[in-house]
Structure 1
Amino acid sequence: MLTYFTNSVPNTSLRIPHFLSPQAPTSNPRAKMMSSSLPENRIVLGCGGVVVDLLAAVASYPKPDDKIRSTSFQVQGGGNAGNALTCAARLGLHTRLISKVADDAQGRGILEELEADGVDTSFFVVSPEGNSPFTYIIVDNETKTRTCIHTPGYPPLVPEELSRSKLESAIDGAGLVYFDVRLHETALVVAKEVWTEASSVPTALLSMLLKLPKVKFVIVTLGEDGCIMLERSHNKASNSEEMCIDEVFESLKQKAPNDDSKPTCVSSSVVTLKADGIGTLCGRLHVGTAEKIPPSELVDTTGAGDAFIGAVLYASCVKLPPERMLPFASQVAACSCRALGARSGLPRHSDTRLAPFLHEGSEIAGLVP
């Protein structure tokens, strides 16, 4: 679930050197994007998890007491916040990350890889003792699934380790702030507050926007089934009649193309959406489809959701409309699924596969009255 709040911090500039990561895919330098695809306010602050991923691909998942060989193996950075901000950095944003590692080989490797991708790690807390987090990931080539075995870092990050001056410096100039809710105790408190008891996903999204009046939009991802986005509107609805949000969703879902392998988006007009027992909201509903990746090209879905979020962070800074943002984010996620691990397949801004989604006038969206 992704929610988007406004942030009223002042707009200042930050210049971060961007280095080519050895794991980054090459791109075509001749690919040209529209000038507006690079935002003026390009600073995004993240707070959350970073880890070392030890990825082993196997022909099929082992049975108990089996001994098998891997078909490939990689060690690379991971963690939801680390992955999402790496994605945003490769797309052209300036990114800062608040997290914690230990002063060990794994921690130093985490920092070096993030810095190589242009992520500002100066706000990290580095513990002189303990261990940095790491995850064993077994990728099953047969079922196209992955199994994660995570070892948390120790000692964990506590608020007292982040000074007021350092926090203010991290926030200064940031246009967006992203949390991956890795602090599970805090996440539980938030979950209890936003639990909607709704009977459907669209109804739950409507309930969330009613409970959180400063949220601009909410997105829920559905894996290979795409995503749903509910966007708040301050404009008057084109139709004074209230429309059931579940019925609008079903109508959009039927109109979404099933024969198109590329990501698309079908959107409603601005209407007054209602849900029985919940309330009404003026807004737009968007249904996005995911790319249909051929089985021969699907390698690993690790970090696909993080890639989607990183692309949404970029699209929000660029001010892409939802009709273009959702297909763009889905395309970035699909790119990441074509390589082992969460970061190997993350595209850069100049990647030719992204050009159709960044150019004005691309045929990637439809509007349903």
Structure 2
Amino acid sequence: MKMQGGGDAANTLTCTSRLGLNPRLISKIADDMPGSSILRELEADGVDTSALVVAKEGVTPFSYVIVDQKTNTRTCIFTPGHPPLQPDDLSPSNLEDAMRGASVVYFDGRLTYTAAFVAREAARRNIPILLDAERKREGLDDILFLARYAVCAAKFPQAWTEAPTMGSALVSMLLRLPKLKFVIVTLGAMGCIMLERIDTERPPTEEVDVDSLLRSLEQRKDSTVTTPICITSEAINMRAEGIGTVKGKLFLGTAEKIPPAELVDTTGAGDAFIGAVLYGLCAEMPPEKMLPFAAKVLLAVELSEPELGCHIEQIRASPRSCKMGEYITRLNTLLTFLVELESLMVKFV
């Protein structure tokens, strides 16, 4: 059994710190042993905790994460913390300090009431927002309608839009969310799909069914290529039957094929993917480079073991060269017990 800090936003911001960004966290912990441990870990990992609220009484949220190494599956048993972070915990001066110089604000999709309050402040300052949309939650739409970027779990687009197919769901999201620049849906071992809105003075004249276009990209996959790549469409009008048309580009990001025997633990892999996407945005990477890069960072998490090291230069070049090394420098994601932080926001400067 091992106890270690974690949680969606905490994992993500640790990844971005290891990649060279300067993340700052707004969240709340209690003045207890798990909270103190989380605080020390975040600070040791280069995360700015100056905006972290510490309650004198209460309990820091935590999870038991049970990893089955035979089936490469995990079970999470979550215990929420209290008291939760409320807007009253965040003074105007604290919010101003937290957002000063931010390039992007990231929300992990939890504590949506307070998150929406922070999102409105970010939008008022014209700071781009990225939302991790894992599942439908009460109040999530208030953040989603302000977001410029969204990274979704596999089932979210169709659940949220009630569209019949993945392609039509992505088109529907861009039509219903006018601020959204792109949406990425992660598909595990199948990689990811990204739909990017294209605003040009000379819009494309050709129109194609989005599901047909997605199938054509899938047919371009080369089964002999094992490293992550990105397959891209031209800028085109994509039509979803009964929904509408959006001008954009469709991207299909592949994932590296990992032998089951090499998988250690996938806990935190999705968070690392989002961390790499955030890095890509701050570095102004085009999607063709950002998606394979994020897949490589994710891979390094899935292959991580605590006793071996992996440097960021190796990850950027070839994560498999790190063998079973930890992703970035030393972030260990092989967990049987995880102290989870219900983090609200990560910001990057």
The TM-score normalised by the length of structure 2 is 0.76
RMSD in angstroms over aligned alpha carbons? 2.2
- Indicate yes or no: 2:315 matched with 1:353: yes
One of 256, 267, 270 as aligned partner of 1:305: 270
CA distance in 2, matches of 1:230, 1:128: 45
CA distance in 2, matches of 1:346, 1:188: 41
CA contact (8 A) 1:134 1:151 kept: yes
- Indicate yes or no: 2:55 matched with 1:90: no
Matched residue of 2:161: which SS? coil
CA contact (8 A) 1:90 1:347 kept: no
CA contact (8 A) 1:97 1:121 kept: yes
Q: Map of 1:1-369 to 2, 5 A cutoff?
A: 73-183=1-111, 187-191=137-141, 195-235=160-200, 239-339=204-304, 349-350=312-313, 352-355=314-317
1:239 Cα shift? 4.8
2:284 is aligned with what amino acid?
K
Deviations 1:64-120 (A, max 9, x none): xxxxxxxxx322111000000000110000100101100111101101101111110
CA distance in 2, matches of 1:263, 1:132: 38
Distance verdict in 2 for CA 1:280–1:314, change over 3 Å: same
CA distance in 1, matches of 2:227, 2:295: 9
CA contact (8 A) 2:183 2:194 kept: yes
1:237 Cα shift? 6.6
Unpaired segments of 5 or more residues in structure 1? 1-72, 358-369
CA contact (8 A) 1:94 1:118 kept: yes
Larger radius of gyration: 1
Matched residue of 2:199: which SS? coil
CA distance in 2, matches of 1:122, 1:348: 27
CA contact (8 A) 1:83 1:307 kept: yes
Matched residue of 2:239: which SS? strand
Distance verdict in 2 for CA 1:345–1:158, change over 3 Å: farther
- Looking at both structures, which has the greater relative contact order when contacts are Cα pairs under 8 Å and sequence separation is at least 6? 2
Matched residue of 1:219: which SS? strand
CA contact (8 A) 1:87 1:346 kept: no
CA distance in 1, matches of 2:290, 2:308: 19
CA distance in 2, matches of 1:269, 1:345: 42
CA distance in 2, matches of 1:355, 1:259: 20
The TM-score normalised by the length of structure 1 is 0.72
Distance verdict in 2 for CA 1:244–1:102, change over 3 Å: same
CA distance in 2, matches of 1:345, 1:180: 29
CA contact (8 A) 1:307 1:346 kept: no
CA contact (8 A) 2:203 2:247 kept: no
CA contact (8 A) 2:112 2:140 kept: no
CA contact (8 A) 2:184 2:195 kept: yes
1:201 Cα shift? 1.4
CA contact (8 A) 2:30 2:60 kept: yes
1:311 Cα shift? 0.3
Distance verdict in 2 for CA 1:301–1:237, change over 3 Å: farther
Deviations 1:236-288 (A, max 9, x none): 67851211111110000111222222111100011111111211111100001
CA contact (8 A) 1:91 1:347 kept: no
Partner of 1:51: none
CA distance in 1, matches of 2:255, 2:309: 16
